[in-house]
Structure 1
């Protein structure tokens, strides 16, 4: 990490591994959506967030560092993912962040297809999802891969995008068996052609 000479660290607040991450959305600057996207910093109180900038009276930014990040993952997320991977009883699973936890939002039966999955994603809210993709290689070999999709549509609230982005890697680590990752802001970025090109 590179820090400029104008940045100071509060070492007493640094790397507290025991703090529960209740303010993950403060990892990023807060964008005031009612003020045409003008960037404003959060109030000057120490929280458990990673590298949260705080402006002092002399204009110097102080960064309070903490190693914790991400939201908690509900046990059902891991259970249902395990069933998709081992038993293949779902075609897809969609997850959402509810408060400070990632929870299961909806599931698709094995006979549903990619169009059903794509239609299940909201047009104005972020989601995580996994899709069990079956395909045939150029050598005529039947295969399947589990695709992880981070869905972040342009019309979603800025704050929501920040929370999902900051929690993604931790959530992915809980799902052992993901083979391909895709990030999409529009349906065209997760078309069947793109999915297949990434899977092959």
Structure 2
């Protein structure tokens, strides 16, 4: 399917389409580590998932959380670097479904119904996290889930 010159893939579960750029940016994050994070949003008018913002490799977790709107849902992936108890440098790719309590009910339903299908499009997700409040995705929680 092609809308406004972009290749997209229909999401049969929710009727949602995924813009090619979403998968291409994710592959760059996963293989080249070109980005620290990617935030995705649903264009409710065109019913498609698109890239909202990318974070450069030197951006921090605080930079990432600061770009999530306080009253709108988003999907995001974050490439988390950490050191294990055995002193090994590792990284895990987190998929975060951001759905704040203050967002619109329709939006929450749209994001919830599209999440699993969209996540499958991004091959290489290692940890999934659902958050409705910043405290549910604190750096301590991320660290705990990574180990």
Q: TM-score, normalised by structure 2?
A: 0.90
The whole-number CA distance in structure 2 between the counterparts of 1:199 and 1:181 is 10
**Aligned-residue CA RMSD (Å):** 1.1
Show the counterpart of 1:191. 138
- Which residue does 1:149 correspond to in 2? 96
Q: Secondary structure at the match of 1:162?
A: helix
Q: Which has the larger radius of gyration?
A: 1
Paired residues, number: 135
Distance 2:21 2:30 in 1: 14
Which residue in the other structure is 2:19 paired with? 74
List, as ranges, runs of 4+ consecutive aligned residues in structure 1 with deviation greater than 3 Å.
none
Report SS of the residue matched to 1:163: helix
Which of the pair is proportionally richer in strand? 2
Question: Which consecutive unaligned segments of at least 5 residues does structure 1 have?
Answer: 1-20, 25-67
Structure 2 unpaired stretches of 5+: 1-9
User: Are residue 163 (structure 1) and residue 110 (structure 2) matched?
Assistant: yes
1:122 to 49, 69, 78: 69
Partner of 1:31: none
Counterpart-to-counterpart distance in 1, 2:81 and 2:143: 9
Query: Which residue number in structure 2 is paired with residue 91 of structure 1?
Result: 36
Structure with more relative contact order (C-alpha pairs < 8 Å, separation 6 or more) = 2
TM-score by length of structure 1 reads: 0.66
